[in-house]
Amino acid sequence: NAGVMQNPRHLVRRRGQEARLRCSPMKGHSHVYWYRQLPEEGLKFMVYLQKENIIDESGMPKERFSAEFPKEGPSILRIQQVVRGDSAAYFCASSAGTGRNQPQHFGDGTRLSIL
């Protein structure tokens, strides 16, 4: 199955630690999106990347959060100095082309818990 792969599925961190979430897009997809789903809330767009470029990061918190999609390897969402409020499910999606009218295909998510 060449779907969107996210790992780890579950991640537990203590406050102040760093969290790294990985996403490998579907084969042939070069566009990656990250979303956050807080408990009892909907999915919120965070960032849109293409290979080696951040296209739109308007949904990313200004501090502690960063994302990259290197030429080789998976896309990484990095959260530094995690706080309790970062506990959420983080979903990655990929598409074959530019955002509009291109369906995004989602991974199963990474559930981040902050102790």
Partner 1 sequence: SQELEQSPQSLIVQEGKNLTINCTSSKTLYGLYWYKQKYGEGLIFLMMLQKGGEEKSHEKITAKLDEKKQQSSLHITASQPSHAGIYLCGADSNTGNQFYFGTGTSLTVIP
Residues that bind partner 1 (CB under 8 A): 4, 6, 33, 35, 42-45, 48, 55-56, 58-59, 91, 93, 98-101, 103-109, 111
Measure the CA–CA gap between 74 and 32, rounded to whole angstroms: 10
CB of 81 to partner 1, least distance (A): 26
Which of residues 41 and 72 has its CB atom nearest to partner 1 in the complex? 41
Q: Contact at 8 Å (CB) between 75 and 68?
A: yes
Give the nearer residue to partner 1 in terms of CB position, either 13 or 106: 106
Query: In the complex, what is the shortest distance from the CB of residue 112 to partner 1, in angstroms, rounded to a whole number?
Result: 14
To partner 1, the closest distance from the beta carbon of 9 in angstroms equals 10
User: Shortest gap between Cβ of 63 and partner 1 (angstroms)?
Assistant: 20
For partner 1, the closer CB: 30 or 106: 106
Strand-pair partners of 21 = 77
DSSP string, 48-77: EEETTEEEE-TTS-SSSEEEE--SSS-EEE
- Residue with smaller CB distance to partner 1, 20 or 106: 106
Other Cβ atoms less than 10 A from the Cβ of 53: the count is 9
Contact 56, 83 (CB under 8 A): no
